[in-house]
């Protein structure tokens, strides 16, 4: 399956984006041998994308949690973490850094023929609906005992359909003050999967500790497949251009890929305390000077706090990543 770049049409014009995968759930599917839609960022070539980013020694985000906006931190609505997560640290974590190149990945290329995501602009609203299934292959969950990733992260959860029915502002505005992030869904990526914040259910750096699949996703206790980091199966454009839109956050602002103007790779130093900035970008079929977030290789990876007023959703997702914790050793 090829990567898909999805660009919404201007507000006021209804646009239908239908995302459909190619297989059903883990319970009734065999692994597919089809390749994933793009290379993982853990390939050797990615280290040279920007001289300021060394994916072999990314700063570990453990402890970078705040009750106020702070660059390089997650402004979390939760300050107590009692959930589960990976059963032990992998060898890719060393001291206060982790090596993306060496991190284990959950095996399998399971496809999802029923995956759906619809995005329309209707009046002042951007209407987003879907079923939470991704349009790209995922790893095989629950993690199999035969999978080398099992020795580090025994995620026991299966990927299940979810209900997505949102109305976000089509022309979002910045709030007077940033607000904290919940431990569940904070947005949706254009592959149909949820975006979670950078924390696992133990309050650690989920990108470093939790073992994810080739597209850097996994399910939590209720089966919600989600990304804590850059969803690598989405097209991030070419290296000398601004990254395309990769999803929407619950305050209505877009989240773009790893690169800013001129292909400059984004980092905490180039973004504000909520992990965004403002300049002209492709937005609703034209160039607009608008605030937007960026993915980064650095923690907090997606969003550090909400810049706008977020939609309050009834999210049944469990706090953090796995939710249920590791099974007995």
21-42: per-residue pLDDT in tens? 333 333 333 343 333 333 333 3
Tell me, what's the pLDDT at 88? 86
By the 10 Å C-beta count (0-12 exposed, 13-18 middle, 19+ buried), 327 is classed as: exposed
pLDDT of 242 > 90? The answer is: yes
β-strands 254-256, 286-294 pairing = parallel
116 close to 17: Cβ distance less than 8 angstroms? no
Nearest to 109 by CA among 38, 39, 37, 32: 32
What confidence tier does 72 reach under pLDDT thresholds 50, 70, 90?
Answer: very high
The total number of structural domains in the chain stands at 1
Tell me, what's the pLDDT at 318? 55
Nearest to 64 by CA among 259, 227, 275: 275
Q: Tell me the average pLDDT across 295-311.
A: 97
Q: Whole-number mean pLDDT of the chain?
A: 84
Tell me, what's the pLDDT at 13? 33
Tell me, what's the pLDDT at 52? 59
What is the extent of the structural domain holding 128?
A: 1-329
150 close to 107: Cβ distance less than 8 angstroms? no
Q: What percent of the chain has pLDDT over 70?
A: 80
By the 10 Å C-beta count (0-12 exposed, 13-18 middle, 19+ buried), 54 is classed as: middle
Task: Fill in the DSSP letter of residue 206.
Answer: H
Hey, which residues does 121 pair with through a beta bridge? 126
**Range name among 36-45, 61-70, 91-100, 184-193 with the lowest pLDDT average:** 36-45
120-166: per-residue pLDDT in tens? 999 999 999 999 999 999 999 999 999 999 999 999 999 999 999 99
Tell me, what's the pLDDT at 319? 59
- pTM assigned to the model: 0.82
Task: Fill in the DSSP letter of residue 85.
Answer: -
Give the 3-state secondary structure of residue 49: helix
pLDDT of 316 > 80? The answer is: no
pLDDT of 82 > 50? The answer is: yes
What confidence tier does 85 reach under pLDDT thresholds 50, 70, 90?
Answer: confident
Q: What's the distance, CA 88 to chain centroid?
A: 22
151-208: per-residue pLDDT in tens? 999 999 999 999 999 999 999 999 999 999 999 999 999 999 999 999 999 999 999 9
pLDDT of 211 > 60? The answer is: yes
What confidence tier does 63 reach under pLDDT thresholds 50, 70, 90?
Answer: very high
Tell me, what's the pLDDT at 164? 96
Q: Tell me the average pLDDT across 236-252.
A: 94
């Amino acid at each position: 399956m090829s990567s898909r770049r999805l660009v919404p049409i201007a507000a006021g014009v209804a646009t239908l984006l239908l995302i459909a995968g190619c297989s059903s759930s883990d319970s009734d599917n065999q692994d597919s041998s089809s390749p994933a839609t793009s290379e993982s960022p853990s390939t050797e070539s990615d280290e040279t994308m920007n001289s300021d980013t060394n994916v072999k020694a990314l700063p570990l985000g453990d402890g970078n949690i705040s009750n106020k906006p702070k660059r390089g931190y997650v402004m979390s609505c939760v300050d107590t973490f009692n959930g589960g997560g990976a059963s032990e640290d992998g060898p890719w974590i060393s001291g206060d850094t982790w090596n993306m190149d060496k991190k284990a990945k959950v095996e399998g290329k399971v496809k999802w023929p029923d995956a759906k995501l619809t995005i329309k602009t209707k009046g002042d609203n951007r209407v987003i609906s879907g079923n939470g299934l991704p349009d790209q292959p995922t790893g095989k969950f629950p993690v199999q005992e035969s999978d080398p990733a099992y020795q580090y992260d025994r995620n026991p959860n299966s990927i299940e359909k979810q209900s997505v029915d949102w109305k976000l502002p089509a022309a979002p505005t910045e709030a007077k003050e940033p607000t904290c992030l919940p431990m569940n869904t904070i947005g949706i990526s254009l592959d149909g999967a949820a975006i979670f914040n950078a924390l696992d259910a133990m309050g650690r750096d989920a990108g470093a500790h939790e073992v994810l699949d080739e597209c850097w996703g996994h399910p939590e206790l209720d089966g919600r497949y989600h990304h804590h980091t850059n969803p690598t199966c989405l097209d991030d454009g070419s290296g000398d251009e601004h990254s395309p839109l990769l999803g929407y956050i619950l305050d209505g602002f877009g989240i773009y890929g790893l690169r800013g103007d001129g292909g400059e790779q984004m980092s905490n130093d180039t973004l504000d305390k909520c992990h965004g900035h403002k300049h002209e970008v492709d937005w609703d079929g034209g160039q607009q000077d608008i605030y937007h977030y960026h993915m980064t290789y650095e923690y907090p990876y997606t969003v550090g706090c909400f810049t706008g007023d977020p939609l309050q959703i009834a999210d049944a997702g469990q706090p953090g990543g796995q939710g249920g914790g590791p099974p007995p050793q």
